Chains A and B, each alone.
Chain A
Amino acid sequence: MIANNHIDVGGVLRRRVCHLYMDLVTRPTGAAVRSEIEHQLGELQGRTLTVIDLSQVGLLDFSCADEVIAKLLLRYQTTALDGGIDGYFVVRGVNECHLDAIEAVLERHRLALLVETVEGELQLVGALPEHGAQAWAALCAAGRAGAATVGHTLGIPADEAERLLGDLCRLRVVIPVERDFVAVNVAAALARPRLQ
């Protein structure tokens, strides 16, 4: 249903920019790293969930978060519509300071993203619609559900739940599967026992 892909951003940074760098700072560095990630994604086809792994990245500043995270999400929102790969993303190995930068750029561009913290906690962050976090949580609990089920859990009408889940699909944190919906992390878990 969905193929898993893993990108070690620290490795990309050291391979693509400088083998001594630990920190993801400055726009040119971010652009170079994103270009390499896009190159790797260009070799994929179909519906793909990519884990962007920041575990080996020291610092992530706002400019680099914009270049790497925000621009990647923006690009794959568009390519999915254009018939490119149907790309979904989870960012892993996120510490408190990474999160500062990531949340700032997501808010700026009205994007959302699922992150896995260094402690292993999954968090849905960014510019979510009202009830968005609850809808995502309901899908996580259900595994796979239709709008009526999610609406019932949230106490909202089914058509409102349908619109809400549509918005979460556009934000690419929820995946439409036939007439149902699945949270990206659940989809990945179905494909493999654990995101890797």
Chain B
Amino acid sequence: MTTVITVPPSLDDQTFEQVLEQLAPLPADAKVLVDARHARWASPFGLTALLTLAQTRTERPALAVPEAEDTASYWARTGFYRHAEELYDLHGTVPRGRAQNGESSVLLEITPVVRSEDVHAVVERIQQRAQAILVKELSLDPQSTMRFAMTLSEACQNIVEHAGTGGWVAVQTYRWQKRLGRRVVVIAVCDAGVGFRRSLETAQGRPRSDRWDDAMALEEAVLRGVSRFRDPGRGQGLAGVRRFIGKWGGKLAVRSGTARIAIVPAWDEDVPLAEGLPCFPGAQMQITIPERLAAEKR
């Protein structure tokens, strides 16, 4: 029997939880059809998380692609189908080619990250495209392109260093009308690897505490820079990401296992820590950087 998993019309880091709630009761080898026919919009997190979802299944899943032509076309521009056809049995009309409708909001197509060479490629590609978007459209300072690339580098390295499997990265800019009323640039980095808790558990001599779960592992890694390595220089990547996020008034959200932690700026109403979520392997990170308004410039 095939279980249909319905993708909400708007798929982002928050609504992806609806997908996971449907998936949680099913064993990994259950046959599933991910039904995205009525999807109208997806964030980079939504798209990379859909690819990650397929990697968590032992039975090859099916995916019904969006019916709306502009949605399907957009998903094609992000490079989604090129990777999805490796992981899913695709149903419906998949746009062929890489149509470009005017200015693309895709700063970095969905890109697999497996080895450190992939991080080099991602960093080089993003610098070529980011300057115009970050400085001219989001009004960030000219140094922001390099800091943005540093942020992306550290986020991707988490996969290479800790996941134990490959993952995905995508970067996109769009107008976030509903929540913020300005443009944002969003980095999504998702993997189906071991996750933060199991990664930290591999550390030698780690003191055990009564409370040890996904939420605490996220607190340790994201807030306190703890790493599974004994080298005191480790754990600086996420600390660096946090520093830049603070400088830009941005948001960092990391989900792993059954918990999700967020560094929440004033413009957002997310909870700092969510526990008891449907279990999902690996780690999924989203970084959101808003347009800088004239009043915020010093």
A49 to B150 Cα, complex, angstroms: 29
Which B residues between 221 and 266 are near A, CB-CB below 8 angstroms? 232-234, 236-237, 239-240, 243
Q: Would you call B135 an interface residue if the criterion is a C-beta within 8 Å of the partner chain's C-beta atoms? A: no
What residue in chain A is nearest B143 (Cβ atoms)? A96
CB <8 Å contact, B123 and A25: yes
CB <8 Å contact, A63 and B147: no
Q: Would you call A101 an interface residue if the criterion is a C-beta within 8 Å of the partner chain's C-beta atoms? A: yes
Interchain CB contact (< 8 A) of A29 among B116, B127, B234? B116
A25 to B126 Cα, complex, angstroms: 13
Question: Min CB distance, B159 to chain A, in Å?
Answer: 11
CB <8 Å contact, A104 and B240: yes
Q: Would you call A116 an interface residue if the criterion is a C-beta within 8 Å of the partner chain's C-beta atoms? A: no
B residues less than 8 Å from A25 (CB atoms): 119-120, 123, 150, 153, 157
| Interface flags, B77-109, vs A, CB<8A=1, else 0 | 000000000000000000000000000000000
CB <8 Å contact, B236 and A63: yes
A181 to B154 Cα, complex, angstroms: 40
Question: Min CB distance, B77 to chain A, in Å?
Answer: 26
CB <8 Å contact, B146 and A26: no
CB <8 Å contact, A23 and B236: no
Question: Min CB distance, B138 to chain A, in Å?
Answer: 17
CB <8 Å contact, B236 and A62: yes
CB <8 Å contact, B150 and A62: yes
Q: Would you call B160 an interface residue if the criterion is a C-beta within 8 Å of the partner chain's C-beta atoms? A: yes
B residues less than 8 Å from A22 (CB atoms): 124
A residues less than 8 Å from B150 (CB atoms): 25, 59-62, 97, 100-101
Which A residues between 55 and 100 are near B, CB-CB below 8 angstroms? 58-63, 66-67, 70-71, 95-97, 100
What residue in chain A is nearest B144 (Cβ atoms)? A97
Which A residues between 1 and 43 are near B, CB-CB below 8 angstroms? 18, 21-23, 25-29
CB <8 Å contact, A26 and B147: no
CB <8 Å contact, A108 and B147: no
CB <8 Å contact, B124 and A63: no
CB <8 Å contact, A105 and B119: no
Q: Would you call B161 an interface residue if the criterion is a C-beta within 8 Å of the partner chain's C-beta atoms? A: yes
On whether A61 and B143 interact (CB within 8 A), knowing A23-B120, A25-B153, the answer reads no
Interchain CB contact (< 8 A) of A105 among B149, B161, B233? B233
A102 to B149 Cα, complex, angstroms: 16
A residues less than 8 Å from B149 (CB atoms): 23, 59
Question: Min CB distance, A105 to chain B, in Å?
Answer: 6
CB <8 Å contact, A27 and B123: no
Question: Min CB distance, A118 to chain B, in Å?
Answer: 12
A residues less than 8 Å from B157 (CB atoms): 25-27, 61, 63
B residues less than 8 Å from A67 (CB atoms): 233
Question: Min CB distance, A176 to chain B, in Å?
Answer: 27
CB <8 Å contact, A62 and B239: yes
A residues less than 8 Å from B234 (CB atoms): 66
CB <8 Å contact, A27 and B153: no
A residues less than 8 Å from B243 (CB atoms): 100, 104
- Highest count of chain B CB atoms <10 Å: which of A26, A58, A95, A109: A26
What residue in chain B is nearest A110 (Cβ atoms)? B232
Question: Min CB distance, B199 to chain A, in Å?
Answer: 15
CB <8 Å contact, B120 and A97: no
B residues less than 8 Å from A105 (CB atoms): 233, 236
A96 to B142 Cα, complex, angstroms: 11
Interchain CB contact (< 8 A) of A21 among B120, B153, B233? B120
Interchain CB contact (< 8 A) of B236 among A21, A26, A97, A108? A108
Interchain CB contact (< 8 A) of A63 among B120, B143, B146, B154? B154
CB <8 Å contact, A97 and B233: no
Given contacts A59-B123, A105-B233, 12 further A-B contacts (CB under 8 A): A23-B149, A23-B153, A25-B119, A27-B116, A27-B157, A61-B240, A62-B239, A62-B240, A63-B153, A63-B237, A97-B143, A104-B239
A-B contact list, 8 entries, CB within 8 Å = A21-B120, A25-B120, A25-B157, A26-B157, A29-B116, A60-B150, A61-B153, A101-B240
9 interchain residue pairs of minimum CB distance: A26-B116, A97-B146, A62-B240, A66-B233, A61-B153, A62-B236, A25-B153, A61-B150, A28-B116
